Amino acid sequence: MTPAAPRAVLAAIAVLAALGFVLPGYAVTLLTEAIILALFALSLDLLVGHARLVSFGHAGPWGFGAYVAAGLLLVLQLPLPVAALGAALATALVAVPVGWLCVRTTGVAFAMLSLAFAQLGYAVVFKWSAVTGGSDGLPGVPRGGGPLGLDWLATREGFHVLAALALAGAYLIARGFTVSPLGRVAAAVRENEARAQALGYDPRRTRLAVFVLSYGLAGLAGGLYAGFARYVSPELFFWTVSGHVLVMVILGGAGTLVGPMIGAMALFFLEHQLSGLTESWGLALGIVFILVVIFAPRGLMGWIEDALRRGRRASRADP
Amino acid sequence: MDPVALFTLQLLNALSLSALLFFIALGLTLIFGIMRVINFAHGAIYMLGAYVGVTTQTLTGSFALSLVLAPLAAALLGLAFERSALTRLYAREHSAFLLVTFGLALALTEAIRLAWGPDPRQAELPAALAGIVFVLDEPFPVYRLVLIGAGAAAALALWLLLHRTRLGLLMRAASQNAAMTAALGNDVAAVRAAVFALACGLAALGGALAAPLFTAYIGLGTSVIIDAFVIVMIGGMGSFVGTAVGSLLVGFAQTFGNFYFPELALGATYALMIAVLLLRPGGLFGREE
């Protein structure tokens, strides 16, 4: 796997941010949502791609971050960026004990444990109506402005730029982690746990580091989503959300960081365009997903990389 | 109402819910036992059973026929999916299996939405099953008693299949050591296909049985699959006895929990699942791997 050049990725995100000033209002809103989903998929890729821990519970940190941010915005009236960062930190903090329990396992048991924790969050939010609003959720989440011109962030364009900044920051953190010494150890644990352990590394602690980082970034995505939708509900925690973001990661290409971001945005826009045109869109997506898992496990990114390599080879042979 | 009668009715309700859950969890655990994988599509197969059952009944007017055709249709679909998709994945790691069965769940749910439309479908019970009986002077639906009987019959039939037939022997052998079973000249691929088809048929039978009680609706599968996961994890993946006990535990926890502690019941089942996965990763009756 050749990771795409970070500078190209940042340039692409800058273009996305700039589009917020060019496109008509409705398109900007769609693009903002796509960016938040890209951030969500990026966070899951750390677990699924980099640590090969297939989580079926990523709705957990997403929903948790959204509720924390909603609380900070509603009750404490904090500015939007502060609430989103608070959501990320709170989610990472909760991820320490949850992850400590989850990373004792791998494979199917890990998938089931992460799923159970997310469903537990769903049950708590659903039943604890006094605090969470129960099945009605919490409507009317304000996009808090604040001093120092932060009021601008509550506008459509401002929120769009904030989401793009968060995605760029999260990408730099995720990418920095994967190339850091700890990230390399995590890759070693993924490839051969016994050998990594024999070399003196602690597989559980390494997995825990990936888990906490992944959950923190998912909490950031969830926190931004609360400000975006101005509404949180228990559905954010439901397991189908976990499944949906997993589809984005796999279709985009797990383990590449860039692939899942592309996968999330592509899937979001395809869904938006095609679901209006044809009713069989969901069926087609399911079938394509099955075919990708069987025949193209590297996803869209694998296909792009192969095409680039072929192109390079051809241009080398040409002159 | 007299507390003893109330408790007895709740008990019977819990048993009938356990019986329905048993049909779907049993298939999951059979598949896990022999293939070491979780079938995420099992909830969608259950939902398919409910819809095929309702339609069979609308077309032919026969509830009994729906209990034959729904499992048959699901078993054929399961067989086709196992032969075309799953066989390619046995050599790969388990997560590929989770993902591909999740893909089937997505595709199947959408296919059902296309074929039957978004509105829920209600199945009618034949007159003989639609009545009520009096239990301790309180009325109770006959059909729920029938479900308890059906669950017990299925448990007995499956036990006989596993322990008294050659296919059952091969299934148990392959779940203990597939390579050795194959080396002795047995067709393990055929056993796998048979198990997957059988498991899908069982889930669909559960769906067809549940249709008169819960109606068939889009989303029936997504809610029931989580209950089935909880059962299989608690009972022990691959354990027949564990699945029966797990079904009873979850059926009772949901029925009595919703009645006596409605605030805590939902979360308690997930907390129990987490505790079992951490303390006894093989489940209460399974063996640790």
SS (H, E, C) chain A: CCCCCHHHHHHHHHHHHHHHHHCCHHHHHHHHHHHHHHHHHHHHHHHHHHCCCCCCCCHHHHHHHHHHHHHHHHCCCCCHHHHHHHHHHHHHHHHHHHHHHHCCCCHHHHHHHHHHHHHHHHHHHHHCHHHHCHHHCEECCCCCCCCCCHHHHHCHHHHHHHHHHHHHHHHHHHHHHHHCHHHHHHHHHHHCHHHHHHCCCCHHHHHHHHHHHHHHHHHHHHHHHHHHHCEECHHHHCHHHHHHHHHHHHHHCCCCCHHHHHHHHHHHHHHHHHHHHCCCHHHHHHHHHHHHHHHCCCHHHHHHHHHHHHHHHHHHHCC
Look at residue B234 in the predicted model and tell me its pLDDT: 87
- Residue A78 CA to its chain's centroid (Å): 24
Mutate to test the interface with A, among B42, B100, B106 (most CBs of A within 10 A): B106
In this prediction, residue B288 has a pLDDT band, given cuts at 50, 70 and 90, of: low
* Tokens, residue B284: 């209460």
Q: Does B275 touch chain A (CB under 8 A)?
A: no
| B118 or A57, greater pLDDT | A57
pLDDT digits (tens, 9 = 90+) for A88-144: 999 999 999 999 999 998 888 899 899 999 999 999 998 888 888 888 888 878 887
- Could you tell me which chain B residue has the CA closest to the CA of A54? B95
Answer yes or no: is pLDDT of B190 > 60. yes
Query: A120 at the B interface (CB within 8 A)?
Result: yes
- Quick: pLDDT tens for B128-146: 788 888 888 888 888 899 9
pLDDT digits (tens, 9 = 90+) for A264-296: 999 898 888 877 777 788 888 889 889 988 988
pLDDT digits (tens, 9 = 90+) for B215-234: 888 888 888 888 898 898 88
Indicate the pTM of the whole model: 0.89
B106 shares contact with chain A (CB less than 8 Å): yes
Task: Choose, out of A58, A108, A287, the residue to mutate when testing the contact with B (most B CBs < 10 Å).
Answer: A108
Chain B: nearest CA to A108, how far in angstroms? 7
Model confidence at B287, in pLDDT bands (50, 70, 90)?
Answer: low
In degrees to the nearest 10, what's the CA dihedral of A160, A161, A166, A172? Answer: 130
B contact test, residue of A290, A291, A292, A295 with most B CBs within 10 A: A290
A237 and B CB contact within 8 Å = no
Alpha helices per DSSP H over B61-165: 63-84, 94-116, 127-130, 142-164
Q: Which of A124, A240, A282 sits opposite B110 (nearest CB)?
A: A282
Chain B, 168 to 227: residues with Cβ < 8 Å from chain A are 222, 226
Read off the pLDDT of residues B14-31 as tens digits, 9 standing for 90 and up.
999 999 999 999 999 999
Residues in B closer than 8 angstroms to A250, CB to CB, are 99
Interchain CB contact of A54 with B (< 8 Å): yes
* Residue B73 pLDDT exceeds 90: yes
Q: Which residue of A has its CA nearest to B108?
A: A283
B281 closest CB neighbour out of A105, A117, A127: A105
Quote the pLDDT of residue A318. Answer: 59
Question: Considering only CB atoms, which chain A residues are within 8 Å of B93?
Answer: 52, 107
Mean pLDDT (whole number) for B172-195: 89
Q: What is the pLDDT of residue A307?
A: 85
Please state, for a pLDDT cut of 90, what percent of chain B lies above it: 43
Contact A286 B85 (CB under 8 A): no
To test the contact with chain B by mutation, choose from A293, A295, A298 the residue with the greatest count of B C-beta atoms within 10 A, namely A293
Looking at chain A from residue 7 to 26, which residues have their Cβ under 8 Å from any Cβ of chain B? none
Domain ranges across chain B: 3-218
> Cβ contact (<8 Å) for A107 and B102?
no
In the predicted structure, residue B153 carries a pLDDT above the cut 60: yes
Name the closest residue on chain B to residue A283, using Cα atoms.
Answer: B107
Contact B160/A at CB under 8 A: no
Residues 173-232 of A with CB under 8 A from B: none
Maximum mean pLDDT: which of A115-129, A206-220, B59-73, B104-118: A206-220
A58: distance to nearest CA of chain B, Å? Answer: 15
Query: What pLDDT shows up at residue A1?
Result: 43
Say if A246 is an interface residue toward chain B (CB within 8 Å): yes
CB neighbour list of residue B58: distance below 8 Å, 6 or more residues apart: none
Largest interatomic CA distance in chain A: 72
CA B194 to chain A, closest CA, distance in angstroms equals: 22
Query: pLDDT averaged over consecutive 10-residue blocks of chain A (319 residues)?
Result: 72 89 88 96 94 93 96 88 94 96 88 93 88 83 72 84 94 94 91 90 94 97 93 92 92 91 91 78 87 87 85 73
The pLDDT value recorded for residue A97 is 96
For an interface test with B, give the residue of A294, A295, A298 to mutate (most B CBs within 10 A): A294
B86, pLDDT greater than 60: yes
Rounded to the nearest angstrom, the minimum Cα separation between A3 and chain B is: 22
Cβ distance A294 to B93 less than 8 Å, yes or no, reads no
Q: Is B127 part of the contact surface with chain A (CB cutoff 8 Å)? A: no
